[in-house]
A and B are shown apart, each in its own frame.
Chain A
Amino acid sequence: MKAKEKIKEIFPGIEIIDNQNAIYIKDIDTIAISDLQLGEELYFAEQGIFVPQIQLKEILENLKKIFENVKAKRIVINGDFKHEFGEASKQEWREVSEIIKFLKENVKEIILVRGNHDNYLLTIASRLGIKVFDPYYISKNILFTHGHKRIEFPKNIEIIIIGHEQPAIVLSHGFDRIKIPCLLYGKMKNGKKIICLPSFSPLASGVAVNIIDKEELLSPILREDVDFDELKVIGIDKEAGILRFPNIGKLKYHT
């Protein structure tokens, strides 16, 4: 294997796609992304913050880059496809349809895993003819779940993929301090492997996992089922590429 490919690899046969917040799983020919939070701009507008709408355009551009890199038969959207907790708004409808349409042109199968923001997703998805899995989707030995609640893991499962946390890492040295999204991976207490995907939304600022206390983590799976400090960190930046770090415990913020 070439060095360039090695740097992308998370577990054998699972790698990060082209500096994007997305992974490709070779064995099941599947792309996985998480936390798109579509329609978040409208949510902010309802709160009185009128952000210009850019999210949809950027998500489509990023998806395009992914499909230019990888041809896969399936894509898994691992929860929080859209942002709103309540009934879908027009903007969300439009955005969801547009993205689904684009995905259909590029993959044979679209899998939606239900997240905590996806209460009304079922209606939209059924109209668009897409299956929604709740609380998890399994393909071979891999389980996809959003990560907002703990679940019983079936025995034959070897790898668990979650989202929800929207992890990011703060890099600091001297005057410099930058936060970038990151992917977390490692072993769970039960011996299975786990991957936590970063958010695919350009609006996400992320939870700085090397700053906060374990109790403040959003995902109960990360809080309870893993030794959080032992998880390894891969920073992902569109320009700088993939930056591999040791485990979180070593990256805890110190001055």
Chain B
Amino acid sequence: MIKFVNTKIVKSDKEILKKLRPYVRKWFERNFKEFIIHQKFAFELIRKNKNILITAPTGSGKTLSSFLSILDHLFTLSENNKLEDYVYCIYVSPLKALNNDIYKNLIIPLKEIEKIAKDMNINLKEIRIGVRTGDTKSNEKQKQLKKPPHILVTTPETFAIILSTRRFREKLKNVRWVIVDEIHEFANSKRGVHLSLSLERLENFVGRKIVRIGLGATLEPLEEVAKFLVGYSGEKERDCFIIDARFIKPMDIKVISPVKDMIFASSEKITNSMYKILSKLISEHKTTLIFTNTRSGTERVVHHLKHMFPSIFSEEDIGAHHSSVSRDIRLDLENKLKSGKLKAIVSSTSLELGIDIGYIDLVVQLGSPKSISRGLQRIGRAGHKLHETSKGRIICLDRDDLVECSVMFKKAYEYFLDKIQIPKKCLDVLAQHIMGMSLERKWNIKEAFDLIRNSYCYHDLSFNDFVSVLKYLSGYYHSLEDKKVYGKIWVDFDNMTFGRRGKYARVIYSLNIGTIPDEVKIKVRSLEGKYIGTIEEEFLQRLFPGDIFVLAGKTYEFVKAKKDVAYVIPAKEKRPTVPSWFSEQLPLSYELAIEIGKFRKMIFNLMNKKSKNEIERFILKNYHINKWAAKAIADYFYYEREFLKGFEIKDFPCHKTILVENYIDERNNQNIIFHTLYGRRVNDALSRAFAYKLSKLLKKSIGVTISDNGFMLTIPYDVEEDRKINPKDILNLVNSKNLEEILKNALKQTELLKRKFRHCAVRSLMVLRNYKGYEIRVAKQQLNAEKLLRICEKIEDFPVIKETYREILEDYMDIRHAKEILEKIENKKIKVIFLKESDLPSPFSHSLIVLGESDIVLMEDRKKLLIKLHKKILERLKG
């Protein structure tokens, strides 16, 4: 059972302190004034061997919370000379570069405690801490084998490798505690799914209960995350106590419009003004941490700040910190930060997590962070100490951003968090672990299935799916003699057993484990060599000279590629010729989207009674925003309402009403715009399903543009078949019952499918990253995802394909909520309003129109498509 700890009934510090070993107590009293609330509960519960999930802001002493009881226990063993050469506690963190933090949070306290004990004439055997990650050198690993650390600090990937090692895993036989840090980073990703199976494998290996301790910051829903942490024991959910201290830190947040008139200001003006505000904020504070939503954005901000304000910023006091920056530069930046030498640091996601970055007094977010939890996590990096106020400023760059952020941080003050979604039944991750298990020993199939079902992520796994993965791994699809090449395990269905196959199995496993897809990034430069950003290698492969594509919000024409650099020239005002399916943008959460819909409804309703000025004042008063922002929002809604009035429409787009526009653009293309404010994951599903049906109906390929606020279907104009479709006619083509089937068909020819398939193929160990000691890149280029997919699709019930569709529908898209929306349309709980054909789009559509296609749903009938293309090309040559 999952239980919440009642944080109202608290023991006194004295009561806790008296349970500690005297030297530990003394150390605590020397270093801290008092216990933080979650520490008290954690201490008691861990002592009683209970599983716990602690959620509290970053920097609120969670590490101590989890370790205090464990250290106290280890010291007790040490004092009685019972501390053996085994790993007692495993600490799993998403970050590889942990050494600095561990030193500060664990090694220093240990040394201090040991010294106090010595002063008290108590002789303690040393408690060893060891870090083991992908970067750990082999001599260090050897050392750990001889003298295993009592506390092992590691990443999920290395943890899974250790479980399959021949010798070191014997040192895990006595593990009592596992700490999962930054659990919010894991729970919504395949990395977490991977970890959940490692935990079950460990528990199975140890043969008795392991105490699981999860640490997280801002996340929701806590019960689900707790279940994810502890899993099942057979059919029974394991117990877990939740200590909820998420909202103990005061906040000071403001959403800012950088210009007085957001509606009519040029993008240059907005950008310039943003930098001026940014530089002013940085000057007013000691150290500012700036978050952008993309890595390329990070570099741009640093570049512009240095060039626009050379008298304020030098090379030395500002820097960009993200995952593509080299390790040395990153560490150098972190050290400068800690010693207070930096004025500002710009980051995309890498500084979101709890690594120690010293004193930050202001966090600036550029553009919407897209989720309340992420927003709070980022802003929480300011005022690192517990009771210090977290100060955050959000600078928005367009009107939709303003509306979004105003609602987002209003909800943040109300302690409303968006929900994370835990991926389930991922067959690719399962394949990795089955191979890992086969390296441990011979397994009974049923026994292995039971173990896997103990993970929360696999509790509903069907035996058939499990068997399909076993078959896949055993090379079932290949001839008998080729099995030794293709089979990674052997399976004996007569005796219901499986085990390891091949001498390379262990090497393949340890070199290729992991869930994060490796994208080779290609630098994009202007012909003069100026850095513009990066694109994925696969995207480059699809680019032809003359192609126009979108990068970092601007359009460029591709000229040539040389030695891993793509050269482009700016292509202002030109429409993209290839969809930008490599978007780095994070999707808006469904919960928050609904809240923005509610906000729309409230404001539009208010407009019936109040003047524009009154609305502006209302927004300013009730939301945490500046005056310019309030004005921009009021204007934005006002213009949309005026536009709708022109069509004699009284309804307005909100969470209960979907507005559909029929916009004919200057090229005579028909664009059907759906104002479905449900987040991009939902819109992705809806748009592709509608596009597919529309494509079948018109026998044309359809362009799809997707944003968080809606989607647009583009029907390309054709002189011969100038047939406009009535948007009303397509609404009924897709419903909650046929959505999934349609979507699967719609995905078939898309870039999205190819790309996700490649990721799943790598995770399933069908395409290795590393083999026989070298990286596989050339062969991968020869055999692209498209071809691989074409081949695998011919095999029935192929788990890699099944997982690709599952990942797209459930993780990348949100088919569950998309179905819900369609049901609500069917039950008339959501109203759909159609606008007449118009050559003007409504103000709420503008950001969608300038976005450029996200993907193309190709005409399904390949034969017809080819014949049509043939005809068109011949016509073009004639004409």
Contacts and interface: CB of A to CB of B under 8 A. Distances in A.
A49 B776 contact: yes
A154 interface: no
Interface string A26-70: 000000000000000010110111111110000000000000000
Given A42-B485, A205-B787, A48 B768 contact: yes
B475 to A, nearest CB: 8
Given A48-B771, A50-B767, A51-B788, A240 B867 contact: yes
Nearest to B476: A52
Contacts of B268: none
A203 B791 CA distance: 8
A238 B479 CA distance: 27
B1 interface: no
A240 B768 contact: no
Interface string B732-766: 00000000000000000000000000000000011
B234 interface: no
15 contacts: A44-B783, A45-B486, A49-B779, A50-B765, A171-B866, A171-B869, A173-B872, A175-B701, A176-B701, A176-B859, A203-B791, A235-B870, A254-B546, A255-B544, A255-B548
Interface string A162-179: 000000001111111010
B609 interface: no
A82 to B, nearest CB: 16
A53 B482 contact: yes
Given A48-B770, A240-B867, 13 more contacts: A48-B767, A48-B769, A48-B771, A50-B485, A50-B767, A51-B766, A51-B791, A171-B873, A173-B872, A174-B716, A175-B703, A203-B791, A239-B863
A7 B325 CA distance: 57
Interface centre among B477, B779, B853, B870, by most chain A C-beta atoms within 10 angstroms, is B870
Contact of B866 (A42, A47, A175, A178): A178
Interface in B568-605: 577
B530 interface: no
Contacts of A172: 544, 869
Interface residues of A, number: 38
A176 B792 CA distance: 24
Nearest to B770: A48
Interface stretch (A71-79, A120-128, A140-148, A245-253): A245-253
B53 to A, nearest CB: 39
Interface in B476-490: 477-479, 481-482, 485-486
Contacts of B482: 42, 53, 91
B486 to A, nearest CB: 5
A53 B544 contact: no
Contacts of B869: 171-173, 176, 178
A47 B769 CA distance: 10
B546 A173 contact: no
B776 A255 contact: no
A111 interface: no
Contacts of A245: 870, 873-874
B850 interface: no
Contacts of B778: 47
Contact of A240 (B702, B794, B863, B877): B863
Nearest to A251: B873
Interface centre among B486, B548, B702, by most chain A C-beta atoms within 10 angstroms, is B486
Interface centre among A49, A235, A239, by most chain B C-beta atoms within 10 angstroms, is A49
A51 B782 CA distance: 13
Contacts of A237: 862-863, 866
B166 interface: no
A49 B770 contact: no
B784 interface: yes
A46 B778 CA distance: 13
A50 B477 CA distance: 11
Nearest to A250: B877
Nearest to B479: A53
Contact of A174 (B479, B701, B863): B701
Interface centre among A42, A52, A240, A253, by most chain B C-beta atoms within 10 angstroms, is A52
Contacts of B876: 173
A151 interface: no
B484 to A, nearest CB: 10
A180 interface: yes
Given A44-B783, A176-B858, A237-B866, A52 B792 contact: yes
Contacts of A157: none
A51 B876 CA distance: 40
A205 B771 CA distance: 24
B614 to A, nearest CB: 47
Nearest to A255: B546
B14 interface: no
Given A243-B866, A255-B546, A45 B877 contact: no
Interface string B189-203: 000000000000000
Contact of A171 (B546, B547, B853, B870): B870
A90 interface: yes
B835 interface: no
Interface of B: 477-479, 481-482, 485-486, 544-548, 577, 701-703, 716, 765-772, 776, 778-780, 782-784, 786-788, 791-792, 794-795, 798, 853, 856, 858-859, 862-863, 865-870, 872-874, 876-877
Closest 3 CB pairs of A and B: A48-B771, A48-B768, A240-B866
B873 A49 contact: no
Contacts of B548: 255
A47 B766 CA distance: 11
B546 A253 contact: yes
A240 B858 contact: no
Contacts of A255: 544, 546-548, 577
A176 B868 CA distance: 10
A217 B515 CA distance: 38
A240 B859 CA distance: 14
A171 B546 CA distance: 15
B479 A243 contact: no
A138 interface: no
Contacts of A211: 544-545
A99 to B, nearest CB: 16
Contact of A51 (B783, B856, B872): B783
Interface string A87-99: 0001100100000
B3 to A, nearest CB: 47
A192 B444 CA distance: 69
Interface in A178-217: 178, 180, 203, 205, 211
Contact of A54 (B544, B716, B765, B791): B791
A196 B767 CA distance: 33
A172 B578 CA distance: 11
A145 to B, nearest CB: 24
Given A51-B788, A240-B862, A170 B544 contact: yes
B195 to A, nearest CB: 25
Nearest to A174: B716
Contacts of B779: 44, 47-49
A50 B766 contact: yes
Nearest to B512: A48
A173 B873 contact: yes
Interface centre among A90, A94, A178, by most chain B C-beta atoms within 10 angstroms, is A178
Contact of A253 (B545, B702, B783, B859): B545
A240 B876 CA distance: 20
Nearest to B574: A255
Contacts of A239: 862-863, 866
A207 B466 CA distance: 40
Contacts of A176: 701, 856, 858-859, 865, 868-869
Nearest to A254: B546
